[in-house]
Chains A and B, each alone.
Chain A
């Protein structure tokens, strides 16, 4: 009787070969992308997408070719934040067209494939029962396709907006072994930092992705009338101490600024209108730190 390992083929499907073709295709597509940087945080709602959108436009203003992949498949927000949710991708040759934010920044997101409104991502299957056994695999395939089947063109940097969760970076790193590094986002609350601390360890020790540094978001509130700054969260545990504990760079703090939230809601560029605001300057300085780290 033969054992599993004695079976010479998989019945003609050649699954291994098909998977390696997929990998090769992904590599070829990203050959002209110099750096891939993931924006991550174990904690939800801390501003990963906000930081991604703002950094993409900051780098673009500085003359770099930046692109954005929205890797949050179930809660995509980049297309909306960057004002391109009306773009309908179409295929041209062997890939699909990304949306172009401000005419220059290519964006690819699950959002562009979903009906407008509140339609969730539902994967077709003979039955939805037991979907927990395969959903994450379908998501990985979808993520691979969003990366491999998009006309990215030549990019200096691709920012990848991740979904919350310490595991998300590891999944991405499995798909893309050459990620340049990751930015970790936190807020100045003890709960966020407890969770984010684990993500930092996960990033460096398990996913083995270099941590570029920590971004502290919603750190203080700027009064809309007079520009006065005050703490948004009481207690305010200093995020730079978290950075110190993990021996990673502290890249700066972005205050809570209602105009920033408004711009993202409307899909307009905050940096275009408020480059001189405290938040605007903070974002531009984080972008400087990022391209210095990448040696762009």
Chain B
């Protein structure tokens, strides 16, 4: 079976389609948002863990709005918000989303307490759309999308 395509993640779900290179038979894996979140809630790493967890790793990475000055745990490419995206990224060496400098500057101009929320929204949207880089244009799109 070879990876054929994937959709999402969107609204917590993701689908991955595999197909047989020989006969073309396809199977799909669908994630259930509640199941995904419940496994995540255990503070374990989907796909197994070889490194040691950073102190308070899941608390710090799961808190949507965190105090300024508390170190954030740097998510590795395999540790994106959706664990399945992380796995797919890792398997296919797809890098995490990058932010252009002007987009990053714009993000930084937003009050600190809502910044993580905005970052998440923008990144979610970008992933849904399949963008690899977040530019100011993408941020405008998200804004328009949210105002709809």
Residues of A within 8 A of B (CB): 12-15, 18-19, 22, 88-91, 94-96, 112-117, 119, 121-127, 129-130, 133-134, 137-138, 140-142, 144-146, 149
Contact = CB atoms under 8 A, between A and B. Distances in A.
A138 B42 CA distance: 7
Contact of A127 (B12, B54, B67): B12
Contacts of B68: 115
Contact of B33 (A123, A127, A142): A127
Q: Which 3 A-B pairs have the closest CB atoms?
A: A126-B12, A137-B41, A149-B55
A12 B50 CA distance: 11
Contacts of B61: 124
A119 B49 CA distance: 32
A151 to B, nearest CB: 9
Instruction: Name B's interface SS.
Output: loop
B56 A146 contact: yes
B70 to A, nearest CB: 6
B5 interface: no
B37 interface: yes
A37 B91 CA distance: 46
Contacts of B55: 91, 94-96, 145, 149
B63 A126 contact: no
B67 A134 contact: no
Interface of B: 9, 11-13, 33-34, 36-49, 52, 54-71, 81-82, 112-113, 116, 120, 124
Given A22-B43, A113-B60, A123-B62, A133 B38 contact: yes
B65 A119 contact: yes
Contact of B52 (A12, A94, A125, A127): A94
Nearest to B36: A126
Pick the most buried of A95, A115, A130: most chain B CB atoms within 10 A of its CB: A115
Contacts of A116: 67
A275 B65 CA distance: 40
Contact of A137 (B38, B60, B82): B38
Given A89-B70, A91-B71, A119-B113, A141 B65 contact: no
Nearest to B61: A124
A149 B54 CA distance: 9
B44 A122 contact: no
A15 B44 contact: yes
A14 B65 contact: no
Contacts of A91: 54-56, 71
B37 A133 contact: yes
Contact of A18 (B9, B37, B45, B54): B45
B62 A88 contact: no
A114 B44 CA distance: 23
A179 to B, nearest CB: 21
Contacts of B33: 126-127, 129-130
A145 B56 contact: yes
Contacts of B62: 123-124, 138, 141-142
